[in-house]
Structure 1
Amino acid sequence: MTQASTRNEGRDRFEDSEALRALLTRLHDAGQDAWRNDPEAAALMRHAADKYAALARKHGLDPWEAASAAFEAMRGAATRRADDPWAVVTRAVQVTCIGEERGNGLLCSVHQARRPRYSVFHDAERFSDRENPLTDYHPAFHVDPFADDAHDDSGEDEDLLLERTMNVVSAVEDTIAFLSRVGWAPETARAGVEYITGRLAESVSRRSAFEVLRRDRQARALLDLPGTSWTTLLRVVLGNPDPALAHTNAGRGMLVRLLIGEPLRVLWRDDDLVLTAGLAAPANGSEEP
């Protein structure tokens, strides 16, 4: 009973923010060896392991990993100067636990897992983790037939390959000319279409290229395009990625329509295409969403 009372008194002492501040200040002033040799420091770390054990287990970690994060936070000057030192420590432990969990799931470092460009991905999965084969449901394995044709050059003779290359170049030039005629500045139209086709050549399908480009803020900054104009340009050039529209003119996009043999004059008769592309031209006052 006496030992339990002593432990409770220790917990109550450590939970007091001012007492924690005083202890952290004393340990800081005592030098680097104080954390290693001071008995109160050891008791504080045991208390931190107990305090954050539930949070650590929630993220699949050992309580002492949370205590380690608390130790790093406690050594900082910001913690000693904070209005509530425990609030600073708790937030630091929470962020570290989340980062460790995401890093373990993504098979990358905690530093990378904390960055938005990596944290948006789902955890790594083995092929055997699901009953159905990965190729049955994952969009990365859904090959666009047009992209397939554009990338599969095996067995073709040089004349056919040259003809295909010329067709692609012609389709790109016709797309640029079309956009220029409906109100896009020629230099903007050329830069935008060439950037899109360059990324398309590196992608497995038009749909995946669309999704990558849609989130490409660097491209928008380089081209100085509002969000609405950029998204509409992608739909016009690559087609709407909605699977329900895959076999429609809206789903194919200008590049595919030109590559499968539709002449530019036919596209001029597509009122929806002309209106959509024209209204999205930056000169028409599109605004950032």
Structure 2
Amino acid sequence: MPTTRTRPVRDRFEDSEALRALLNRLHNAGRGAWRTDPDAAALMRHAAQKYAALAKKHSLDPWEAASAAFEAMRGAATRRADDPWAVVTRAVKVTCIGEERGNGLLCSVHQARRPRYSVFHDAERFSDRENPLTDYHPAFHIAPFTDTDVDKADADGPGQMVDVGSAVEDTIALLGLLRWRPETARAAVEYVTARLALAPSRASAFEVLRRDRQARALLDLPAASWRGLLRVVLGAPDPQLAHTNAGRGVLLRLLIGEPLRALLADDDLVLAASVAAPGLDPGPEGR
């Protein structure tokens, strides 16, 4: 007995003219035809299978691609096109790309399709990378505070800028008031400022001077006094303290207009300079 084969659903819908005929019939049937017609349901299942790979490529569900195909099939341009499936495929591709960009940019598909939004990269979470974003992204970096930034770092500071010579003399006077011998204070401050003038920043000058054993020998200063002097005059090198009084140091604070009496009212500064004065017992670490 000969067997007959019915035409598979896939082959029935793959033909463009068959698709056109079905779309015209659904259109002429009026409202509700897409919901009740069994061929419409079969067509949507076929569309989900047909565009499943395209949807997966753009990290979407196959039925999201089928939904885009449904919207394209309802248009008059699809029914009148030379190749209806080509129109549907192009519409599904554009929609999938827009959906993917919208999900990446955390915006609507309508915005993601616009060039002024689509040029941006996808949004990133801090936990998406092995290294924290703050370690390498320039938006989270703060340029080191150098002496060339003095004129703009504290525009709202307490006073006007003063010349370097006056700042040096006031620094020497401050140390003299805080148990430093005048001749030692002058020699040390002048040496520090001379090396500072040759360095690209206060932080680099601090590191060079901290390891300068010859300077310590010439000034006859113990290690604790030398380190304490550098912290008082140049400020702490810690970047987190760069914009604090401890990080600026006496010399910079004088340069940005702080008066000497204001520095003498800073208890932390007075204590640090007094403890660093040579002649006091530096303890075992400073010997």
**Could you state the TM-score of these two structures normalised by the residue count of structure 1?**
0.49
- Give the greater-gyration-radius structure (CA): 2
Structure with more of its chain in helix, by fraction:
1
